[in-house]
Structure 1
Amino acid sequence: MSANAIYRWQNDQLIELAPEDAPTASITVADSWLVDTGKVLALNLHRQRFMDAVPASLHDPADNFFTAAIAQLPRAGAWFPRVELRGAEFFLRLRPAPDLERSATLISFTGDDPRTMPTIKGPDLDAMATLSRGAHEHGADEAILLTREGYVVEGAYSAVLWWRGDILCGPPAEFERIDSVTARTALTLARALGLDIHEEAVTPAELEGTEVWVVNALHGIRIVPRWIDGPELAERPQRLEQWRTRLGALTRTI
């Protein structure tokens, strides 16, 4: 097993590919998650999200492939693997995890929505990478997609959550976006703790004075200290660390 290895699911087994044989077909479905010393947060939800997006005719091989992919993952170190469906073929991409961050600077993306299949992770990864590069050129870590009316939908690589006092909020369910496993886990945990959760359509300006988080499977929860050309934001002391610890406690050994 080597870092940055790519495996094809072939004849009911994972076959490592030479670099020159890396797949070039477009991604139909993808999913990824952080593996840290063999532990993952909500792996069952990642599996379900992947399976839900795979065509019904490929469910059996997809299920077998996912099981084999999990068995293939290293139990030591930090990794950010990705499972992929390209056409009718399944691939596992093994990638070392990059450095993890506590915070993220945001910038609103004001162009036409580049997403073609906003509820499925995979087909729009290249478009999101372009958005992310544009955000970096302006000094931001994450680009935030807005509706035509200017309401917050999601980031290129993250879901967006915010706090109204002790109420954890997110965009309305009818806003088409990726079903974020990390956001779903945080909202479920809030309910379990007896906290209220709320959906609301908000413009960036309407988040003035709130604590805003961007969440994803790689970094977990990141606080937003700055929104370029956007609202002034707040942070309640210790809340971020408390919630990052809570999510960490929910990880399970694969």
Structure 2
Amino acid sequence: MSSVSMSDGPQVWSPRTGRWQSAAPEAVGTAAPLAAIDSWLLEDGRVRGLERHRARFAAAVAGASPDARHVPGAADVERFLKAAFALLPTEGRSFPRIELTADGDLRLWLRPAPAVEDEVVVYATPFPDRRRRPQRKGPDLARQHQWRSAVEAFDAGEGLLAAPAGTITEGIWSTPLWWDGDVLCALPRRAPVLDSVTRSLVLDVARELDVEVGRAEPSVGRLRDSETWMLSALHGIRLVTGWLLVPGSAPEPALRVPGRAAEWQARLQALAAPVVDDGGGGAQR
């Protein structure tokens, strides 16, 4: 297959033939079991941290047993990634997703990019974090969609997940950063959560600016008492502008320093770089 369009649906890559074919109709969509996924915002051929997405997906595939009946080897994954990156469009906006199915198939799905938001209202009552694989995207996708549907029914744009002790682990689709005075705070390095590419890029910006970074497991109250950002590959930084305490009521206004989130979002967006084949199946910037 020489080209793939965003109307084609997921494309399956065969390591045996090195060719692409359309996924079976019943495999299309979020109902299909997925052992690992990764996605990023692509704008006119430029991506933030694509090499980190590549490395995270490769690690997720390597650790995908027993969620996948067959786990492709590292060489097959690299060949797949090289083939997938070669098909990424160089114009327009898209939100590509790479997948490892429960059957062990490697797939690329070129999807139109949803609108990017820079602000969000967060539902302040966290859901118990019952994800089976919190450190790998894919196996808990159906549960995340259920949580999102519940949050959207309350007119909020994001929700929080909590550990049994009540501390916040992540958002449904994003990871939190929050400010304690002039200190930018993040989850502990060894927290059992997804290795967020966007968080790593923002913390790189913090180091470049000599901004102190703290580590903690926050409570909902701590986040409500701070300027809080929710980070994701699609939106980058979303400033929390309100906390929804009671469904149907007006959100509680959130704390913020005027202009700070927008400045950091601009710095984050400046990190986007062209997709360049490095000859080894990855990409560089």
TM category (shorter chain) comes to over 0.9
**Per-residue deviation, 1:113:** 2.4
- What is the aligned-residue identity percentage? 34
Which residue number in structure 1 is paired with residue 90 of structure 2?
A: 75
Taking the aligned partners of 1:131 and 1:22, their CA distance within structure 2 comes to 21
Given that 1:108 and 1:146 are in contact with CA atoms closer than 8 Å, whether structure 2 keeps it comes out as no
Q: Does 1:7 align with 2:11?
A: yes
Taking the aligned partners of 1:205 and 1:232, their CA distance within structure 2 comes to 13
Which residue number in structure 1 is paired with residue 167 of structure 2?
A: 151
Is the partner of 2:203 in helix, strand or coil? helix
Distance 1:179 1:151, change over 3 A: same
**Per-residue deviation, 1:224:** 0.2
Taking the aligned partners of 1:246 and 1:178, their CA distance within structure 2 comes to 23
**Per-residue deviation, 1:250:** 0.7
Say how many residue pairs are matched: 254
Given that 2:127 and 2:160 are in contact with CA atoms closer than 8 Å, whether structure 1 keeps it comes out as no
Which residue number in structure 2 is paired with residue 252 of structure 1?
A: 273
Moved over 6 A (4+): none
| Aligned residue runs from structure 1 range 102-141, under 5 A | 102-141=118-157
Q: Does 1:234 align with 2:255?
A: yes
| Aligned residue runs from structure 1 range 183-222, under 5 A | 183-222=199-238
Which residue number in structure 1 is paired with residue 58 of structure 2?
A: 51
Given that 1:209 and 1:231 are in contact with CA atoms closer than 8 Å, whether structure 2 keeps it comes out as no
Given that 1:35 and 1:79 are in contact with CA atoms closer than 8 Å, whether structure 2 keeps it comes out as yes
Taking the aligned partners of 1:49 and 1:109, their CA distance within structure 2 comes to 30
**Per-residue deviation, 1:232:** 5.1
Deviations 1:13-53, CA, capped at 9 Å, x for gaps: 22234646648751011000000011000000000000111
* Stretch moving more, 163-172 or 222-231: 222-231
**Counterpart AA for 2:81:** F
Given that 1:31 and 1:84 are in contact with CA atoms closer than 8 Å, whether structure 2 keeps it comes out as yes
Taking the aligned partners of 1:31 and 1:112, their CA distance within structure 2 comes to 24
Unaligned stretches of 5+ residues in structure 1: none
| Aligned residue runs from structure 1 range 32-47, under 5 A | 32-47=39-54
**Counterpart AA for 1:160:** P
Distance 1:120 1:94, change over 3 A: same
Taking the aligned partners of 1:219 and 1:203, their CA distance within structure 2 comes to 23
Is the partner of 1:46 in helix, strand or coil? helix
Taking the aligned partners of 1:116 and 1:109, their CA distance within structure 2 comes to 21
Taking the aligned partners of 1:161 and 1:21, their CA distance within structure 2 comes to 35
Deviations 1:159-194, CA, capped at 9 Å, x for gaps: 100111221101223431111100111012101211
Given that 1:208 and 1:232 are in contact with CA atoms closer than 8 Å, whether structure 2 keeps it comes out as no
**Counterpart AA for 2:93:** A
Given that 2:128 and 2:162 are in contact with CA atoms closer than 8 Å, whether structure 1 keeps it comes out as no
